[in-house]
Structure 1
Amino acid sequence: MGQAHVKRWVDVLMPMVADDTDPLGVMDLATPRLPLDQAPHGYEIFQKKRDGAIKVLLTP
């Protein structure tokens, strides 16, 4: 178990994460973006680290 100061930093970080200009570069973390019906495929490419997958983002 790790400790994180979530309550201390969430009010500062959330606006940066939600900012369309992406000042923290978080948009690069979701590779690839897939529709929800392709979740099994997304899991497979994440598990096998295909196509440079870091984090699969599923959209409804």
Structure 2
Amino acid sequence: MGEVAHEVGYASISAFSRAFQLEMGTLPSEYQSEHRPKDFPENFSFPRPPRKYIRRNPR
């Protein structure tokens, strides 16, 4: 979730989480659990993108 928060311009995960909860009415982790495909592995983590694709300065 930290990568998502940073990618959309939030300086902290807690600020992103509060904004998400205000907008969506649920915590990001709860939303993710409810909308994850049933056959999706529980402990799956996406690999980090290669360094050349990581944006240095957020918009």
- TM-score, structure 2 normalization: 0.24
Q: TM-score, normalised by structure 1?
A: 0.23
More helix by share: 1
| Higher Cα radius of gyration | 1
Q: Which has the higher strand share?
A: 1
